[in-house]
Structure 1
């Protein structure tokens, strides 16, 4: 079994070449195969006959089809680190397919192509051993024409879960095995196109594209190019290709016997004065890292889901993809060409687990692995060289540094000088063309921007999108705009890698793995079912390519496109007063080139003497609920003027809000109601417990609370980092606060409840004074908090919690929405009037945590109970407590109670991105300090 532990590349394989289809015969071998699993290579049967086989779908992973279990690790190898050896307990899956050739199959040479086998495969056809595949996410081709027979061809592939190649494939993902990409039989006609390379550069000064092709004649009818011979070039006027305008020219590379359709994009990539340019213009990556994942199929992603990914990316202003941490299915790159995405194409290489050994024995610097490392680079470059979307070649990920990486870079640069080389681990930039870092803090990025302008700087990973977050994207964007050579980055990552199981999504440890990294695999901008998370909505707003802001003279429309003008957009506005639309229209925007802006006048809003015309506004039915205050907002949207390949006409690309009139002050409580004393205390519409001072009834509704609340169910970012906020909060006991009533003072028209709130075991706490007054149907509460003692940590939140009857399920509010928002992740929330249900307010993070906060709320109605701010508050409403949310491991652990738990907050601590990256920026940290907070309760409010 020495081939399993051979440190070289595969054996018997043909030289790598471009991925393409042609008019030559081909036969897909995808479908149902025979399958059997053995616990080890030694236990695998000697022969491949008999009927004792199960079936399996190819492409696919056997662990997701009832054979064995998935396992997730981020860094650590799940086997002893003893390269190149792997455990004797090495699950081995035999795959068998019997197939016939079509009657028209030509008598020509043929190759058998595997686009991906994890981790190593030994291949036989009709009893003849063809060779061994290594490099799981790279293609392998075998010459088979001489072995084919018209009927009853028997193809057998023995796949081993572990091999020497596993040491090079420690890529922060599920360990899943099998033939997970397509298998194809390809006729290779004599005199056909063996391989080809398209050279299509663009001169932004002359507007000319220069075309040449190695490997055949090329014809491009639209350009008048007919049978351009190999080795000759032609320069013609063209429209360049870019991610913003992915112009492709259809052509054919051909010989006398074979025709290969090609889609040609003209573009030039260069680095000038330390800046990465495409077609002469600086670009900024608004990117994502994309693992291939599907919650049922793992990395065997059906093509329609690859399309779905790209559509979602384009619709949310993503303009770039880093193919972490391996080349994707080759069809994905064709989609990037078509729809328009910049691509960093990354080699199938990561040795992260050696970091646990202080990089001793790391293959990146071991000459015994040199051939395999360079081979992996060669196979990627040759496969993907004809894609205009691919701007940079990446050597791999988290493999430290060493001579083999330098050799890979040298080979790639010699082979393809038209693309720069990327690799994050070369901090000294000895063999790369781009300085790359992951999770550098805002402060460090600013320092790099100020002090290191000799080469482009890219954050290949930043803003870890794990759970609720990431926070701080806005401040990263500001740095990308401040320094010309700081050219954006790639969010980690695109999708949560949850696997469907028992009604929820599973993560590390859910399959009984002895070594795993928990829910660290749940770190995407979209949920496992590809539903956008609030993080993706925030990304779309922060990185929108058009910025709409107010100026002293009107509206500024600024373009942050790199190449195209704003001609493809139209601009529409809506004017709302107190969240109700009173006028709408369109803005006439003159031409705006990439990187430019224009200022235009405000539309006519029928504003008289500074006040909006509110004659048509509905009047609140409850006169004591001050809902109509004359607060006017102009919302301007930039939408697609015509349909594109990725969205319909009218899709919103960007939006901005401008405050036109401020809200009139809320009518103050005049404190005219008298406090009643008896078995209970009552004040206006409220009844209180005379011992605790807690509100027990509001109008006809029983309630519990409100009381000071400082706790939230920690987010993944709260739990992250070397010194997590959660640890400090729990050590301080903030999750088990106790309340001591100092005084319940019933004065003539005021109820004052003085308390001290503190954790057990410690001497610090908070004095919390509740002052209640009433006026008609309104009950006003002012909360005054004063820290007592030396507080050792920040606060998760500062506000009130109360419980309401469970039947109060409808929610309406005027404030920021419609989605959740937090201190450092709130750009995507606009001011308006929104409706929901309590259940729909929840964000179903795969690992339950704090979620659903609505910010800057002027007023809230839940059922018919109203809350009015002085002037604003944040709220969450859910059918379980924060403690329930804290204890849950999966969404199925959350069981609705018969109450609605309502938090009304003055503030919450920010989110940050400390699950892997910097924590909460100073301006978004919540500290214990003296504060006041006031809200009005209305027991029966209609809007």
Structure 2
């Protein structure tokens, strides 16, 4: 039996609340409103036994209580120092309390809030409502000592009628917020557990109760049909001046010729107004569009769309889920600037203002319900609310509040029932309710992918490339029910989550995009996820040094570590390399360069927009140095079409001159497509797409005559190089002291190596093989007339498998000798059984220094790996060792520069020049791989006075195995016989 909680029974009652008004659309009005955001009096009680009995009384003395900002999450108060009220806690799946629905712990932290506010004379209190836009997780409300009711549904709006309680002058609002409630079982989203009044609170006069804008578009006629259902106590008229509608009956329907439809690419909004007979005015922003499935393809306004999307949690490293509007705008602008056109509001409705911004700037939205019961899965979904009749009212209530609040946003094209809540009759009932209320949008729910019985999209997450291609062809495994099977095969397919962006990566995005674009049934998908949920916290080492905390950093009893840091943005909203990669992979215009035919083709992948909004530009670089640039005239190319253009005369002349007077290095042509004029989200000149073509290859390097090895007491001289006579290790090159190089196969594991949601992590096989503790044993050092040969074996204690290595060193004499030119050929032969791929294969060395200038010719400017390199371009790049470190929330392998032809590391002692044969991967760090592997947070990495260089023949791919597939077969680094070469030289 449920324990008797008396007046607090609502905490564990499955009911969604009491005393609440019916849900309605979010809108603004010119009627008076009183904003209640600001500092409230606050006390945190430890549980129901610690509550303040008379705290709601108007004359209660709360002067000794703390002040806490509303909106805010109380666990975030005090950060980046020590939290003042409890602490954040992170779990992905597990509930942080016993799973005993609907019961929650009696030691239930409870925030008691009080706010005194003034109601001015003349305020229409007789028609006023009190609005809470977000309270986590359950709360009860008193106004002037009168209990109004209680509510659950943390990310949903709750309103109370205050017309009989609100009075002119002084008013006292008291709110009791419980961290845990029965509603917590429905809110097990993958995020920090945070509590409080975290969205805005207001008292507003209420005239028009609700309205529903229906604005459809007929792509065959160009006509728009507008009808507005209005619920109001007095008659209401509609005016849309641009459409010639003035003082009309909102219900219409009004049929308008020549309407400009709304889309993500052209978010055309018509300004309108509802005017009540009582004088209330409500502004409207109307977007005409029609969403439909046609022959198994997702269409809007009669044309297929492809979702280049992200999953977006609401997050800020200092305020948690409380976001200012400028932060929301920053998210939208960054998405648009990185070619993202869609958002899934994982896993709850966002702040209503975010959807206003999506309407304005153009983003397709999957608006998701505030529902996830993932924590029931470890128990075999026993007692799962999705299929328990006792929870039906609560789940339907959340569905209704989702749809009613956000129904007037043209950006919202899909209602999503929730996430990872199993299946059941309550979800099916929610879908039925939505169809009865709004047939203008589709219904999504990934959890029903096996049958798709009550949804309109076949949605899956984290499936592999082969499985995705099979879905694209309509060849996925059949369902158990033939009727469901026929229904599902007629649906568009969506990747609601893929490309898990945790740590270094994700890899393989290009491969996913190629499959998506090859199959019309595949409507695209949403990267998981938008931003790392790191919490800013002081490190304790220095007064102002902070880091981004993750699960376990607040002493949680159960937690999921840094699995909460899996976004395309770092917590401070700096784009990660993953976002740069994704922007390139999904660019809506493809540019192809054919140097042989001297032709350029442009493929427009847009939904409705032709390419006339873009300006095309070319530039030519010889060895990374600019030798010419100019504009390129490309005829306006319609959506889905291709255009071919020849090279203009000035481009041809620049290339001919580069070839004739060139440096003997590679000559590259780069084409860019940039905004020709300002957009709402970027200024003219912002880059949308780019491409490169190799026009001339580099000349073959000059050969040199090999210098003989000269043996002395303790070292061997080869040209101006010195080797240790016993170890064969290079210790000096010209005037530079060196340590190494030697074969290296270990990398600081990335999150995709350490984790695997669907199997054994890759790192397990690596550790079992001892790859993190390989011993380098020198077997022989043989100087001769052409250099030094060093033989060695790399193997782990206890293992019969190893890597036989032969280092062949040769130095130049003659005119090139002044450059201290030294060549190393490394031959690697695996011996024994190698069941696991190698993390990396290359050589490592170090030289003195804490930082250095680095210049390289190859891919850049940021990091790139073999399956995550689309966003890097060939050129001459410059940086410092410090700037080359990518600040992942949890330290791991990072900062690799891919396909480097040559590089120069400049220290106060001189410059080390490195040349690949033909290319290498380059990483330079101020700490060792061992230190990087051991560190849990960036502040734990301390410079050791050496610069650690990795010159790699290859890396194992990145993939996204932390939650998804590992690297595809072409990017697996197998242990096979390998030969690779690199040259060293020095200069002052």
Task: Settle same-fold status: TM greater than 0.5.
Answer: yes
Say if 1:437 and 1:93 are closer, same or farther in 2 by CA, change over 3 A.
same
Contact 2:709 2:716 in 1 (8 A): no
Aligned match of 1:666: 701
Q: Give the distance between the partners of 1:159 and 1:616, measured in 2 at CA.
A: 75
Q: Which residue of 2 aligns with 1:419?
A: 441
Report the CA distance between 1:313 and its aligned residue. Answer: 0.5
Task: Give the 3-state SS of the residue equivalent to 2:448 in structure 1.
Answer: coil
**Residues in 2 aligned to 1:46 and 1:221: alpha-carbon distance in whole angstroms:** 56
Partner of 2:852: 809
* 2:407 counterpart of 1:385: yes
Secondary structure of the structure 2 residue equivalent to 1:42: helix
Matching of residues 334-483 of structure 1 within 5 Å: 334-427=356-449, 428-452=451-475, 453-483=489-519
Q: Distance in 2 between matches of 1:850 and 1:418?
A: 47
User: Deviation at 1:603?
Assistant: 3.5
Q: CA deviation at 1:669?
A: 3.3
Q: Which stretch shifts more, 249-258 or 835-844?
A: 249-258
Contact 2:36 2:202 in 1 (8 A): yes
Task: Write the distance in 2 (CA, Å) between the matches of 1:610 and 1:773.
Answer: 37
The match for 2:269 among 243, 248, 251 is 248
Quick check: 1:141 aligned with 2:162? no
Q: Which residue of 2 aligns with 1:595?
A: 640
1:670-689 deviations in Å (ceiling 9; x for gaps): 31455453431111221110
**Is 1:498 matched with 2:534?**
yes
The aligned counterpart of 1:231 is 251
Alignment equivalent of 1:22, drawn from 18, 29, 32: 29
Shift of 1:616: 7.0
> Does 2:520 align with 1:520?
no
Tell me, in whole angstroms, the C-alpha distance in 2 between the residues paired with 1:285 and 1:595.
15
Q: CA deviation at 1:103?
A: 4.0
Q: TM-score, normalised by structure 2?
A: 0.93
Q: In 1, distance between residues paired with 2:94 and 2:628?
A: 59
Give secondary structure in 2 for the equivalent of 1:170. Answer: coil
Q: Which residue of 2 aligns with 1:779?
A: 822
Worse-matched range after superposition: 767-776 or 215-224: 215-224
Contact 1:240–1:265, Cα closer than 8 Å, also in 2: yes
How far 1:479 moved relative to its partner? Answer: 1.1
> 1:579: which partner in 2?
624
How far does residue 547 in structure 1 lie from its aligned partner after superposition?
Answer: 0.8
Residues 130 and 807 (structure 1), Cα distance of their counterparts in 2 relative to 1, 3 Å cut: closer
State whether structure 2 residue 218 is matched by structure 1 residue 195. Answer: no
| Alignment partners' CA distance in 1, 2:553 and 2:170 | 42
Secondary structure class of the residue paired with 1:145: coil
Aligned match of 1:621: none
- Residue 401 of structure 1 and its aligned partner are, at CA, apart by 0.3
Q: Within 2, Cα distance between the matches of 1:179 and 1:575? A: 56
Q: Deviations over 1:46-80 (max 9, x none)?
A: 01122331110000011111211111010001111
Q: CA deviation at 1:610?
A: 8.6
The match for 2:52 is 45
Matched residue, 1:8: 15
Q: Is the 8 A contact 2:851 2:880 kept in 1?
A: no
Indicate yes or no: 2:312 matched with 1:290: yes
- 1:37-186 equivalence runs, <5 A: 37-48=44-55, 49-50=60-61, 51-65=63-77, 66-186=84-204
Residue 635 of structure 1, aligned match among 661, 665, 670: 670
| Equivalent residues of 2:851, 2:882 under 8 A apart | no
Match of 2:41 in 1: 34
Task: Give deviations 1:513-563, integer Å, cap 9, x for gaps.
Answer: 011111100000000000000000000000000111123531111111111
765, 773, 780: which one aligns with 1:736: 773
CA offsets per residue over residues 418-449 of structure 1, 9 Å max, x none?
10110001120110011100111111111111
Task: Describe the shift of the 1:725–1:544 C-alpha distance in structure 2 as closer, same or farther (beyond 3 A).
Answer: same
SS at match of 2:49: coil
Runs of 5+ consecutive residues of structure 2 not aligned to the other structure: 1-7, 78-83, 231-235, 476-488, 539-545
**Counterpart contact for 1:547–1:558, Cα < 8 Å:** yes
Aligned partner of residue 703 in structure 2, secondary structure: coil
RMSD of Structure 2 on Structure 1 (CA):
1.4
Q: CA deviation at 1:204?
A: 1.2
Structure 2 counterparts to residues 611-690 of structure 1, below 5 A: 612-613=657-658, 628-672=663-707, 674-690=709-725
Query: Is structure 2 residue 525 aligned with structure 1 residue 489?
Result: yes
Q: CA deviation at 1:450?
A: 1.6
* Cα offset, 1:193, TM superposition: 1.5
Q: More displaced, 221-230 or 279-288?
A: 221-230
Q: Distance in 1 between matches of 2:654 and 2:238?
A: 69
Q: CA deviation at 1:611?
A: 6.0
Task: Give the whole-Å Cα distance in 1 for the aligned partners of 2:710 and 2:460.
Answer: 63
CA distance in 1, matches of 2:303, 2:976: 49
Q: Deviation of residue 733 (structure 1)? A: 0.8
* 1:316 aligned partner: 338
Cα deviation, residue 757, structure 1: 0.9
CA contact under 8 A between 2:630 and 2:650: conserved in structure 1?
no
- The C-alpha deviation readout for 1:402-423, integer Å capped at 9, x for no partner, is 0000000000011000101100
> Higher mean Cα deviation, 719-728 or 170-179?
719-728
CA drift of 1:815 comes to 0.5
Q: Please state how far the C-alpha of 1:571 moved relative to its aligned partner.
A: 0.2
Q: For structure 1, which segment, 528-537 or 806-815, has the greater mean C-alpha deviation from structure 2 after superposition?
A: 806-815
SS class of match (2:436): helix
- For this pair of structures, how many residues does the alignment match? 928
CA separation in 1, counterparts of 2:515 and 2:659? 42
Offset of residue 84 of structure 1: 0.7
Check conservation: 1:641, 1:649, Cα contact below 8 A: yes
Instruction: Tell me the distance in 2 between the aligned counterparts of 1:611 and 1:85.
Output: 78
Distance in 1 of aligned mates of 2:806 and 2:981:
12
What's 1:622 paired with? none
Distance 1:919 1:348 in 2: 31
Aligned to 2:18, the other structure's residue is in SS state coil
Confirm or deny: 8 A CA contact 2:125 2:167 kept in the other structure.
no
Q: Structure 1: 5+ residue runs without aligned partners? A: 618-627
| 1:112 Cα deviation after fit | 0.3
Deviations 1:722-764 (A, max 9, x none): 2111111111111111111111000012111111111111011
Residue 119 of structure 2 aligns to a residue in which SS?
coil
2:4 paired residue number: none
Report the 3-state secondary structure (helix = DSSP H, G, I; strand = E; otherwise coil) of the residue aligned with 2:401. helix
Q: Under a length normalisation based on structure 1, what TM-score does the superposition of the two structures give? A: 0.97
- Compared CA separation, residues 137 and 629, structure 1 to 2 (3 A): same
Distance in 1 (alpha carbons) for counterparts of 2:651 and 2:202? 67
| Superposition deviation, residue 767 in structure 1 | 1.0
CA distance in structure 1 between the partners assigned to 2:22 and 2:716 by the alignment:
87
